[in-house]
Structure 1
Amino acid sequence: MRVIAGTRKGRLLKMPTGMKTRPTADKVKEAIFNIIGSKIIDAYFLDLFAGSGAVGIEALSRGARQCVFVEKNGHCLKTIKTNLALTNFMDKAIIIKKDVTKALSSSLRLLFTHKFDFVFLDPPYDSAIYETVLNGIREYDLITQGGVIIVEHQRDKILHAENLGLEKRVRFYGDTAITVLL
């Protein structure tokens, strides 16, 4: 796994060992950041279910001002810290060790005076938490006007996000789907 573009292009990243994590494939990362484009410059990025931190680190490499990584798994947290050290992005990162739903309802609004321009979430594919998290993002008013929510999920999963009042676009990459809420 590597950083695919930006100031840290080509830098190799670590994966959590002994875990059943599913890293975001390079072609999917590339597609995500093609959607985002130059709007990533100076943006606040929120990486939920951060895993190895690869997507948030990609955002930083491409010019994001700051990335907040939310992850509850200890092995993943160690990997995120290692990858941030390898890419020299510790000063632009905040790591929250907490369950995502608890972080949404408490930590994120208390810790930050700003909202996020981009929210990326990639929970375990077999999880039933997608709509809960999307509703939490809306309920706790975490995204800027014009902000974008990007959800990685299994191709056959249909996200019900109509109540968010955002335009929904879905793209497919093999067994993976990316739902973009604008």
Structure 2
Amino acid sequence: MSVVSSSPILSPSSGRLSSNSSTNLPLFSTSFTKPISQKRYPLIVFSYKSGTGLTSEDKKELLKRYGLDPDEFLSEPSPKTRRRKEGRGSKLVVSDEKSQEERTTHRLLQVLGGKARRKKLLSPKGMDVRPMMEVVKGAAFDILQSAGGCPASLRPGRWLDLYSGTGSVGIEAISRGCSEVHFVEMDPWVVSNVLIPNLEWTGFLDVSSIHTVRVETFLERAEQFVGKDGPFDYMSVTPPYTAVDYEVLMAQISKSALVGKDSFIVVEYPLRTDMLDTCGCLVKIKDRRFGRTHLAIYGPDWAQKKRKSEKKIPIVT
């Protein structure tokens, strides 16, 4: 196993801090290129993961060095709470100075099509994470498959799942034919207790990369993630409605190196939100409403022409 690090992190093989001052990449950037005990783990970028072997003082010093609050990152659940984590759900107590909030999971979502069809997925109880409704997700993939010229499955390619949460959209993409998915989710609890267990349960952990970072930061540093593979073939954008400015977000995406001339973008947005007819070099090929939720899909010009030509084909009875 080799660990490529841009900042002081723990090397899993040695249990010691290491550093690389010759690069200037983000905090806690880790790349695993060979498996531990013959098992490949996902790439986790900008993430802090407990159980690294560091002492409490080492962890506090490391976080302070980067201007972070150790109390925010190092709060741990009680032993009693850890024993509750079992079966189909898990529980974790998140502590602060004023109150304790219990976060739990349940299995309400499922994969709709492909290799993992009907497999149930974990999701957090409450409204802190709002997964895409299944009717919206099903419609999005039907449109993408048709626009790509393969109604039975997705064209092979790389998918970027922004605001991934449970990973439901990205997992659906792998199940239906995508070869690789990158998940961007800023909540470490959701990553550890929901996203990674869902990827393990569906068997897609080996073709997944997880980026525990704000979407805005990920987009700002897009070029370092594109690398030799070029733009993503697909992108899903499912943010919490009240937490983003869609005009600013879509402008940032349209100028990003993550998007190419043959990319498809799926955007879920709320009622009374104006979405442009274009996103960079892409055009809007579909815009549908599901109650208070809207779904816009952008794609290359050839996909729009293909859908229009399909509508003109007469039905022979």
Give the TM-score normalised by structure 2: 0.54
What are the ranges of 5 or more consecutive residues in structure 2 without an aligned counterpart?
1-108, 300-317
Which residue identity lines up with residue 122 of structure 1 in the other structure? T
Which sits farther off after the overlay, 96-105 or 35-44? 35-44
Q: 2 CA distance for matches of 1:29 and 1:178?
A: 9
**1:2-40 C-alpha deviation (Å, 9 max, x unpaired):** 000000000000002455221111111110100111372
Please show how residues 72-111 of structure 1 align to structure 2 within 5 Å.
72-78=186-192, 79-106=194-221, 108-111=222-225
Does residue 168 of structure 2 align to residue 54 of structure 1?
Answer: yes
TM-fit CA distance, 1:161: 5.8
Alignment match, 1:9 = 117
Paired positions, count: 181
Greater relative contact order structure (CA < 8 Å, 6+ sep): 1
CA contact (8 A) 2:261 2:282 kept: no
CA contact (8 A) 1:51 1:80 kept: yes
Q: 2 CA distance for matches of 1:12 and 1:35?
A: 23
Give the TM-score normalised by structure 1: 0.91
RMSD of Structure 2 on Structure 1 (CA) = 1.7
Relative distance call for 1:83 and 1:163 in structure 2 (3 A) is closer
TM-fit CA distance, 1:159: 2.0
**What is the percentage of aligned positions where both structures have the same residue?**
30
Which sits farther off after the overlay, 136-145 or 118-127? 136-145
Alignment match, 2:291 = 174
Please show how residues 104-119 of structure 1 align to structure 2 within 5 Å.
104-106=219-221, 108-112=222-226, 113-114=228-229, 115-119=231-235
Alignment match, 1:44 = 158
TM-fit CA distance, 1:146: 1.8
**1:21-80 C-alpha deviation (Å, 9 max, x unpaired):** 211111111101001113723111000000100000000000101000001012221211
CA contact (8 A) 2:111 2:168 kept: yes
What are the ranges of 5 or more consecutive residues in structure 1 without an aligned counterpart?
none
Which residue identity lines up with residue 244 of structure 2 in the other structure? A
TM-fit CA distance, 1:165: 4.2
Q: 2 CA distance for matches of 1:161 and 1:98?
A: 29
